[in-house]
Amino acid sequence: MRVGTGFDVHAFGPGESVMLGGVRVAHSQGVLAHSDGDVLLHALTDALLGAAGLGDIGEHFRDTDPRWKGADSAGFVTHTLGLLRARGWRVGNADLTLLAERPKVGPHREAIRARIAELLEVPPDAVNVKATTTEKLGFLGRAEGIGAQAVVLLLPAR
Ligand code: MG
């Protein structure tokens, strides 16, 4: 088995919603990003790549590549899953943490969990979605943006 971690941050910018784990969440701002700026899916993609020893999201999905402009980050996850499967891996479980003062993830937690489980082709109980603030400290605490961490375990494919 293999383990990997991922971390991502995006600054808030103009907009009326943010993508969190493949779910659109209404908010007073959007995020600045080349793709759809989904911090949970970006951290998850990096964790998947890390566990498989395949580098990082920037190598696979360059933020200067017009193919990824405004891209649905779900595609990053499914593409990466294909790379893992070709190397004989499947996902055991994933644990994700959103770092944000707002938006609050609570009302959307189960939808996010279900969507990520669908993308990873695992049961919902193999995906955990947590959220924390940084107690008003730092750029996240000042709500200048949002961040996410992810840990995944890979198991040999059956
Ligand atoms: Mg990102």
**3-state secondary structure at position 83:** helix
Q: How many domains does the chain have?
A: 1
| Dihedral pair phi/psi, residue 14, rounded to 5° | -60, 145
Ligand 1 centroid distance, CA of 88 (Å) = 27
pLDDT of residue 65: 86
Q: Which domain holds residue 105?
A: 2-156
> Can you tell me the distance from the alpha carbon of 42 to that of 73, in angstroms, rounded to the nearest whole number?
7
> Can you tell me the distance from the alpha carbon of 144 to that of 140, in angstroms, rounded to the nearest whole number?
6
Question: Residue 57's domain is classified under what CATH number?
Answer: 3.30.1330.50
pLDDT of residue 64: 86
Answer for the pair 150, 43: CB distance below 8 angstroms, yes or no: yes
Output the pTM of the full model: 0.96
Ligand 1 centroid distance, CA of 155 (Å) = 26
Helix (H) or strand (E) holding 91, with range, is: strand 89-99
CB-side exposure of 103: number of CA atoms within 13 Å?
A: 21
pLDDT of residue 46: 98
Ligand 1 centroid distance, CA of 153 (Å) = 21
pLDDT of residue 68: 84
For 149, the token pair is 């961490």
Query: For residue 100, which of 149, 134, 137 has the smallest C-alpha distance?
Result: 134
Ligand 1 centroid distance, CA of 158 (Å) = 31
> Can you tell me the distance from the alpha carbon of 41 to that of 29, in angstroms, rounded to the nearest whole number?
19
Ligand 1 centroid distance, CA of 2 (Å) = 23
Ligand 1 centroid distance, CA of 35 (Å) = 8
Ligand 1 centroid distance, CA of 92 (Å) = 23
> Can you tell me the distance from the alpha carbon of 123 to that of 15, in angstroms, rounded to the nearest whole number?
33
Where the chain has pLDDT below 50, the residues are none
Ligand 1 centroid distance, CA of 151 (Å) = 16
Angle between helices 74-86 and 39-51 (to 10 degrees): 10
Answer for the pair 21, 129: CB distance below 8 angstroms, yes or no: yes
pLDDT of residue 106: 92
pLDDT of residue 66: 86
